[in-house]
Amino acid sequence: MEALLDDQVDAMFQALADRTRRDIVRRVMDEELSVSELADSYEMSFAGVQKHVAVLERAGLVSKRRVGRAQIARVEMSAIRTVASLLNELEDMWRARVARIDDLLADDEAAGR
Amino acid sequence: MPVLDTTHDEETLTLTMVAEFAATPERVWEVYADPRQLERVWGPPTYPATVVDHSLTPGGRVTYYMTSPEGEKFCGLWEVSSVEEPARLVFRDYFADEDFNAVESMPGSTNTYTFEAIEGGTRVTYESAFDSLEGLKTVLDMGVVEGSTGAINQIDELLAKG
């Protein structure tokens, strides 16, 4: 995994320091959305939303592709999930598994085995 | 808490976790040797696991699938390479298609579980080394329902601290 340069990290954090942009990231995380679909949900102009998407794009958090006349935005999960956060997620999953084993073993005692 | 220690190695994509259980190594081993017990612990309640074939012998296979809340099935496969009951278990974990053929394009992980008797129970060391980041991500997509939300919430927390 490539280490992120400080400049890139700064750009990511600056991009995410805005509530609307965080909201955009959350929404394109669930599904790809066109910029006009996104614009429908905010009180600002299409151009305003487009500007926010451009900031996210420059920060490497969102990528855009053209389908006909629409610009479809999607989240760049690799930027959001660094290796560290991936291993943290895996650790959580394992902790939950260990807790389930513990519960299962506790059932033995309850059953008097 | 039964988990004593975890170690992350970002270079080798390895996670190691040490846990202790209040049961003998033979009893903890049974959790892996009995498919009905294994499926109770393998998947989270939201993604329950079903074990299909279960041959815990060197060269044997364990096949399983996990079912998403929407009913989608994710299949997995263990290729067992070493079995020293009740002390050590080594297997490769792969993603599989619906017929439980390993998906060659999708990297797997090498897993070594070590069971030691200690006073009052068993210490288990789980070690998992992933072939690539893709494999690790896919495991998380299968197992951690709120993985992506978790990642963005982490960013939210970081920003809140700043």
Instruction: For residue B119, give the amino acid letter.
Output: E
Helix (H, G, I), strand (E, B) or coil at A86: helix
CA torsion, points B48, B37, B5, B152, in degrees to nearest 10? 0
Query: Which residues, 6 or more positions from A7, have their beta carbon under 8 angstroms from its beta carbon?
Result: none
Nearest to B10 among A83, A104, A108 (CB): A83
pLDDT in tens, B5-44: 888 887 788 889 999 999 999 999 999 999 999 999 988 8
pTM greater than 0.95: no
Within 8 A of A83 by CB-CB distance, chain B residues are: 10, 13, 133
pLDDT in tens, A8-52: 767 777 888 888 998 898 888 878 999 999 999 999 999 999 999
Across the interface, whether the CB atoms of B2 and A99 are under 8 A apart is answered yes
Left (φ > 0), alpha (ψ -120 to 50) or beta: where does B29 sit? alpha
User: B137 versus B31: which is more confidently predicted?
Assistant: B31
C-alpha to C-alpha distance for B139 and B92, rounded to whole angstroms? 13
